[in-house]
Amino acid sequence: MKTKLEFSSGGIVINNNQVLVIKTKNLKNEVVYTFPKGHIEPKESSQDAALREVEEETGVKCKIIKKIKNIKYWFVYKGEKILKQVTWYLMQPIEIPRGIHLSDSSCGIKEVDEVLWIDLDKVTEILSYKSDKEIISLVKQQLNKG
């Protein structure tokens, strides 16, 4: 089986003890709740990609507070085994467009079905991926220290 490397980055955006989550579909067309992320374009830094992806997927402009962690995982897509590395950044919003409030709202972006602000204490309950639950747990630990 052919193997390929992929690099993505994304943001954990926190505002007033709420975290930005997207409702979308995975490669199997299943509904998932996750954090905004996407591929790093050629000649683009992981930081720039994370900021761009968060804004493209949610409409929220952010600034990076700090790098959280790199996460690696394997998956198979169209007969190819893919090792994906995602660099996650803790972010703070600097501009939240009208219509994206601190409550459920539709965003109108085709790859994202819904943009939600979820209480930090409750977000683990709706996240679909184990790696997302691990990242938010790490973020909570860091926030409690600082």
Which CATH number does the domain housing residue 138 bear? Answer: 3.90.79.10
Q: Are 99 and 62 in contact (CB under 8 A)?
A: no
pLDDT in tens, 112-141: 999 999 999 999 999 999 999 999 999 999
Largest CA distance in the chain: 47
Mean pLDDT of 60-86: 94
Residue 108 has pLDDT above 80, yes or no: no
Q: What is the pLDDT of residue 102?
A: 40
Number of domains in the chain: 1
Enclosing domain of residue 20: 2-145
- Confidence class of residue 97 from pLDDT cuts 50, 70 and 90? confident
Mean pLDDT of 107-116: 74
Q: What is the pLDDT of residue 100?
A: 55
The amino acid occupying position 24 is T
DSSP assigned state of 123: G
pLDDT in tens, 10-25: 999 999 999 999 999 9
